[in-house]
Structure formats: structure tokens, C-alpha cells
Amino acid sequence: MNHNSRMDSTPFSPFLGALTMLKPSLIPCVASLVVSVGGLASTATASDLPVARHMAVSGDATVATPMIQAALTYAAFWNTGDGAFAHRALAADFTDRTLPSGRPQGVVGPLQASKAFRLAVPDLNAEVEDLVVAGDRVSVRLHFRGHFTGQFGALQGAGQTVDFQAFDLYRIADGRIAENWHLEDNLSLMQQLGLVKR
């Protein structure tokens, strides 16, 4: 995570009006992909998959469906910590374009980040607040919640509430996330963990 970034709480507002809201013809596609993704990870079920609260799609629904599937599968990874979802969602040559210092490039980076953060916040969950598809890009606004009951570096949690948002922009190629640009509200997170004074 980038520790010096602060994100706007409504990063999608300029884009939502310009895109076509979810078409009725896309609803069966999204429903079928949610069912199909549930079988991807041996430890995860269909109920583990986040569902986007708001979705906007520009263009053909059949083209958008595998892109939505990749984004929701990756969100399921952040929601559950199940690495099988990350392996399914990310391309073999996945590149993090906003790679935090110390995090390895490629699929191993998010796997290590999730594992480390779940040591601090074991009950971490992620909800997909917004999902926007345009061209070969998918934008996702994630809402993370949990409680700091574990260990973060030398700091022991005391049950503090964790509640912050993140914004991701994915480039999708062949149904997988090839590149990711991300921005987390790390100021709020550091304040909640007690690392920075409010």
C-alpha cells in the first residue's frame, strides 16, 4: 500500500454519468459468472464473492462479462484472502503500476500484501461499491472493513475498527487483469491503526 496517498471518496462521479448504466441484457451474464466463479477456489464458495453495489458498462455486454468476472474474482481475493482467486484473476505477467516500496512485482505482491494485512486484521472484508467497465479498463472502488486485533509490525491491535476505501484501475487482457493502478486511503488507515494522530 502507498502510505502517502489520500483518495477522494467519490472517484467515479465524473465517469458514471457518461456511461450506460447496467443493461437488463447484462444481468443474466453477471448472474452466470457469479455462479461460475464460485467453483474456482477450493476453499471459497459463491457466497464469498462480492457483488458490485453499483455497476456501469460502456459497450457490448458480452465483451464486458469476462472483464467483470476478472474484477469480481480479484475482489473475492481481497474479501476472503483465498489466493486461488488472485491466481485466477491475475495474468501470469501481471504488473502493478503503483507498486509500493518493498512489495515484489507480479502475482506474489498482492498475495504477500493480503497475508500481511490479515495478520493485523483477521476479519478483513472488502465490498465492491462501484464497478465501471469502459474499453479494456475496469475501475473498482472497494470498501474495506474489519478490526485491528492482530499484529502490524511491532504494534499489537486492541480491536480498533478499520474502515477505509481503495480505488483500482485494471487493464484486462484475455479475461485477466494484466495491469493495475491503485490508490488506498492510507491516511485514514494509519490513523485507525494508531500509527498517525488524527
Average pLDDT of 106-124? 97
- Exposed, middle or buried by CB within 10 Å (0-12, 13-18, 19+), for 173? middle
Output the nine-digit C-alpha cell for 143: 470498501
**Is position 134 within any domain?**
yes
User: Is 6's pLDDT higher than 50?
Assistant: no
7 domain-assigned: no
Provide the pLDDT for residue 59: 87
* Percentage of the chain exceeding pLDDT 90: 70
Task: Using the predicted structure, report yes or no on whether residue 127 has a pLDDT greater than 70.
Answer: yes
Give a yes or no: residue 5 inside a domain: no
Separation CA 23–CA 92 (nearest Å): 32
Tell me how many domains the chain contains: 1
Do residues 79 and 71 make contact, with C-beta atoms less than 8 angstroms apart?
no
Average pLDDT rounded to a whole number, residues 7-13: 33
Q: Which residues pair with 96 in a beta bridge?
A: 180
Mean pLDDT on 8-27: 35
Q: Determine the pLDDT at residue 137.
A: 98
CATH of the domain at 113: 3.10.450.50
Task: Give residue 46's pLDDT.
Answer: 52
Q: Domain containing 40: what range?
A: 13-193
Q: Is a pLDDT exceeding 60 seen at residue 13?
A: no
- pLDDT exceeds 60 at position 187: yes
Asked whether residue 6 is domain-assigned, the answer is no
Global pTM reads 0.78
What is the DSSP secondary-structure string of 49-102?
Answer: S---SEEEE-S-HHHHHHHHHHHHHHHHHHHH--HHHHHHHEEEEEEETTPPTT
In a domain, 4, yes or no: no
* pLDDT tens-digit map of 74-111: 999 999 999 999 999 999 999 999 999 999 999 999 99
Residue 1, domain member (yes or no): no
Residue pair 171/135 in contact by the 8 Å Cβ criterion: no
- Give the model confidence (pLDDT) of 147-178 as tens digits: 999 999 899 999 999 999 999 999 999 999 99
β 155-156/54-57 pair status = unpaired
* Residue pLDDT, tens place only, 50-73: 889 999 999 888 999 999 999 999
pLDDT of residue 48: 58
Write the pLDDT tens digit of every residue in 20-57. 334 444 444 444 444 333 334 344 455 556 889 999 99
Task: With respect to residue 3, please indicate whether it lies within any of the assigned structural domains.
Answer: no
Q: Evaluate whether residue 174 is within a structural domain.
A: yes
